[in-house]
A and B are shown apart, each in its own frame.
Chain A
Amino acid sequence: MAELNVNIGNLKLKNPVMTASGTFGYGLEYTDFMDINRLGGIFVKGTTIEHREGNAYPRMAETPAGMLNAVGLQNKGARYFAEHIYPEIKDYDTHMIVNVSGSTIESYIECAEVIAQLDHVPAIELNISCPNVKEGGMAFGVTCQGAADVVRAVRNVYPKTLIVKLSPNVTDITEIARTVEAEGADAVSLINTMLGMAIDVEKRRPVLSTITGGLSGPCVKPIAVRMVWQTYNAIKIPIIGMGGISNWKDAVEFMLAGSTAIQIGTYNFIDPAVSLKVIDGINEYCDRHGFKSASELTGAMMK
């Protein structure tokens, strides 16, 4: 039995396995299938200061080994979350981390301030990489200047653990990672979805109402592993790796590439209890390879 706990800045996780924002609701959707208390953390649905209806249907297209989505941050707003959802989830024995998004720097600040008031939310994941909203979202995450501005502004008002979620839709993800590290982020998480597109050839129309959407699932995994590895070699703060993880082997791969912890996203839709199998698999792997602690896996790739 290996030690599974890992640290993301000051945040202590009981194990490195967490679930990704937008794929796990508020955790409550999964309680019939698994004991969510066993998770290292749950990144709840992307939250904005204002209520958002999201994009028009259709919002999803299946792809080989993955899917495109164009949900567009549908949520009832940070204050609704604080009043109605937070009380339902705050007492679970896992870290509930809120994914915070915005359309202007002011709206990011306002949302982070509302979430900062919630005692049982020890961290936020700043989403500067959502490809599915017209204004803001990814716009901040694809330039160093945009990333610096929003991270600096939120860092000023948010004293707890600040994780910044990076976009893969950039020429060099390490530049953005270095920038957010310099602005005081405690950790980065990557990757968000890759911008993609699908066309219904019979109808000669785009499948998604927004034409383009975010690609996720096993099909993006090699790209995500590469970006984690590049980022690991560029920054000192912890990396939370994700992108197509569907079993313990994928999770270990992300850790060897440099992740301190991982998130499971799209595969929750295929196997709602996959994350627990990943925890057990990491433990078994550590025992088999003589690692006393899961934290030793980070960056432990042989060269």
Chain B
Amino acid sequence: MKKYIMDMKVTENLRLHQNYCLLKLSPEEELPEMLPGQFVEVKVDNATTFLRRPISINYIDRSKNELWLLIQIVGDGTLSLSNLKADDVVNIILPLGNSFTIPAEANGQELLLIGGGVGTAPMLYLGDFLKKLGFSPSFLLGARSAKDVLQIADFEALGNVYITTEDGSLGEKGYVTQHSVLKNKRFDRIYTCGPKPMMVAVAKVASEASIDCEVSLENTMACGIGACLCCVEKTTDGHICVCTEGPVFNIKKLTWLN
């Protein structure tokens, strides 16, 4: 897929809570085709941030020509992004990386999309993409506590939503892999994104139940286009770039469970 460098105007920047913002951006030209699981590299204009920030695509609103980025405020770079105001201009490289694999046939496919923390971000666009193709995706969202579960209404508009929180303030108490739906319902495929320990645990559950599973990695990266070879993941084919051959990998390709 052709990649573009685009200036985009901030249409809205919502502080979802203390640590998260939802940045909505729109370029003058039409947004190019983008697939669920892909990400963008955002240029940050402040005195301390050097590299672009890789951020996964949270949602594409075609009617408004709008790209949504869900951003967790971790350091100076993401803090600057959270402070952007409407009409500010941001330079973006997109679309980057591969995408989640969509099953050929929607009929009878039970798909579970598991997101932890800010890892729920790509699941919204994936869920929307799947629903428009006739699938009925289910979502399992995990977070520390109720206030950290983001965009619940948007997910509920797309399918069944199951929730776990570590403190039990919303949904079932515990981690996503402890949720009862994993015991009570049979899924054909799991897609997941979140902290690595969570994804490893999900991969293990999926592998033991022989469920096809794709994970989306967020290795530290510099270029985002396969030039610097900094973001590599060890796979069955050796070190490969997460930014170009990922970020989505089938767990069979990774060496996590070996």
Contact = CB atoms under 8 A, between A and B. Distances in A.
Given A24-B227, A32-B2, A57 B222 contact: no
A60 B48 contact: no
B241 to A, nearest CB: 10
A218 B232 CA distance: 24
A149 interface: no
B90 to A, nearest CB: 14
A193 to B, nearest CB: 12
Contact count band on A? 35 or more
B221 A29 contact: no
B219 A57 contact: yes
A30 interface: yes
Interface string A196-207: 000000000000
Nearest to A27: B227
B52 interface: yes
A71 interface: yes
Contacts of B223: 23, 29, 268-269
A20 to B, nearest CB: 11
Contacts of A268: 223, 227
Interface string B203-224: 0000000000000000111111
A63 B49 CA distance: 8
A9 interface: no
A67 B50 contact: yes
A61 B220 CA distance: 8
A54 B225 contact: no
Interface in A22-64: 22-25, 29-30, 32-33, 45, 53-54, 56-64
A272 B232 contact: no
Contacts, number: 90
A59 B230 contact: yes
A54 B229 contact: yes
Contacts of B3: 32-33
Interface string B1-42: 011110000000000000000000000000000000000000
A29 B227 contact: yes
Given A24-B227, A29-B227, A54 B222 contact: no
Given A217-B50, A270-B43, A270-B52, A57 B228 contact: no
A45 B223 CA distance: 14
A71 B229 contact: yes
B85 interface: no
A273 interface: yes
A58 B164 CA distance: 30
B222 A74 contact: no
B226 interface: yes
A66 interface: yes
A60 B228 contact: yes
B220 A58 contact: yes
Contact of B222 (A33, A65, A69): A69
B51 interface: yes
Contacts of A74: 229, 232, 239
Interface of A: 22-25, 29-30, 32-33, 45, 53-54, 56-67, 69, 71, 74, 217-218, 266, 268-273
12 contacts: A22-B228, A25-B226, A25-B227, A29-B227, A57-B239, A59-B230, A60-B228, A67-B51, A71-B229, A74-B232, A269-B224, A270-B43
Interface of B: 2-5, 43, 48-52, 93, 219-234, 238-239
Given A24-B227, A33-B93, 6 more contacts: A57-B239, A60-B230, A62-B222, A64-B50, A67-B50, A67-B51
